[in-house]
Amino acid sequence: MRAHLSNAAYGVLDYVAWPAGMLIVAPIALHHLGSGEFGVWMIANAALTIGSIVASGFGDANIRSVSQARGSGDITALGRAVRGTMGIHLVMGVVVAAIAWALAPLAAERIAIVDAGLQAACLWSLRIASVLILIRAIETVCVSTQRAFERYGAAVSASVVGRLLALASAAVLPLAGIGVFGIMAATAIFLALALALQLFQLSRLLGPGVLAPSFDRDALTALLGFGVFTWLQAVAGVAFAQADRLITGMYLGAATVALYALCAQLAQPIYGMAAAGLHFLFPYVSARTAPDSLQRVRRAIVVAFAANLLVVATGACVLLFFGGRLLSAWVGSSVAQAGAPVLPPLVWSTAAQGLSITGTYTLLALGRVRWVTFLNLAGGAAMLLAAPLLVPRFGAQGMATARLFYGPFTLLVYVPLLLLLFGGTCATFRARAAVAACEEAGQ
């Protein structure tokens, strides 16, 4: 239990480190950089985040493959999985980074039309961000492998320190007259050093040969059969997260988008804290699908769901009862008043998604990735279909209400989970998991 609590704590730390640091650094950076360069910094970070998600979508597949190999004691399969993931992420990282590098001049021209100096800073900031996409893609292999060994402290410590140092540079360097290009250059240095430390830690754990990229056919088949769906979920998640803001902007304008985005950002930690804190369940269950592990797996899932429910219920109650006051303290009373009808449906939708975390991680560990992907895509599609009907009539509250169509779909993950875990005997558990894995791999 102590190990699980430690892993949960490190997972939460990984989630909160950047937004908490941003709350402190953003006002300082804005004051000394000015709105133009600060905006460029935010755009470069957004490009880095989106590009990293697209280039690093096979981390969960690596966690599952390494966890299963570790659980069965198959060191050869474990090494093949890590090398295969490294090969996939190197290829995807290079491709996405090259596309981002090539598009940087066009983006810089659009972002800074009349200011040549700002345009140059934007160009090179975006190009640095494109290089960082490749660094993040490789880093994901290190982090996911450490997590598969249920070593969350080793997985996130170097990454968190690197990101916090990068944030600190955004607060300190402008004091010396250094602009956004210098901040992004410092970010690249800190993240590269963090990656070097992670590679060193992983080489000590597994041996240096395991880090060499490989394209072994069997390993790639297993990784792609599972990872294509987790990658699709990650990319769809980014798209759906931005789609509600785009729809709101199209119908209601930029000012309403700002109001909606602030309310959505306030509600997001309900899901984020649960997802980060319970991520350890994924490698834990992946490594324990043998028949004699069924009772332990059941107990772990029940305890995890209880913790999941507690975290989500606490966060939802705080925002439902005190969300207005929090908004007022954060961005002012006028915004809080306008956001009063928008926040509650966002809280309920986010809470439903957050409550699905235990089921989602368990199904992924048992190989039911297609079911999880289908439900997430169905929920997003239902939201997109409802939004054009509700937004013109109810405004931002209509968009928030459309989000309510998303959450209930994700809760359906518990239907196959209950059938899989409690619909048979211990003797059939391993067979069920194996059949599920074969189905997902298309075998």
Question: What's the farthest any 2 CA atoms get from each other in the chain?
Answer: 70
What was the pLDDT predicted at 1?
62
What was the pLDDT predicted at 87?
92
What was the pLDDT predicted at 439?
47
Domain segments of the chain as ranges: 1-215, 218-443
Q: Which residue has the tokens 């975390």?
A: 357
What was the pLDDT predicted at 234?
85
* Token pair in block for residue 157: 């410590």
End-to-end CA distance of the chain: 37
What was the pLDDT predicted at 21?
81
- pLDDT tens, the chain, 443 aa long: 666 677 777 778 777 887 778 778 877 887 788 878 887 888 888 888 888 988 988 888 999 888 888 888 888 888 889 999 999 999 999 999 999 999 999 888 877 776 777 888 889 999 999 999 999 999 999 999 998 888 888 778 888 899 999 999 988 999 888 888 999 999 999 999 999 999 999 888 888 777 888 888 888 888 888 888 988 888 888 778 777 877 887 788 766 777 887 888 888 889 988 988 888 888 888 887 655 566 677 888 888 999 999 999 999 999 999 988 888 887 678 877 888 899 999 999 999 999 999 999 999 888 888 999 999 999 999 999 999 999 999 988 999 999 999 888 999 999 988 887 776 544 444 554 554 555 444 44
* Token pair in block for residue 205: 């754990």
Alpha carbon dihedral 97, 98, 100, 102, in 10-degree steps, equals 160
* Token pair in block for residue 195: 């990656």
Whole-prediction pTM: 0.78
Pair 42, 300: CB distance under 8 Å: no
- Residue 255, CA distances (Å) to 245, 260, 356 in order: 11, 9, 32
What was the pLDDT predicted at 189?
95
* Nearest C-alpha neighbor of 25 from the set 214, 167, 220, 175: 167
What was the pLDDT predicted at 443?
43
Integer Cα distance of 369 and 363 in angstroms:
7
* Token pair in block for residue 54: 């697209």
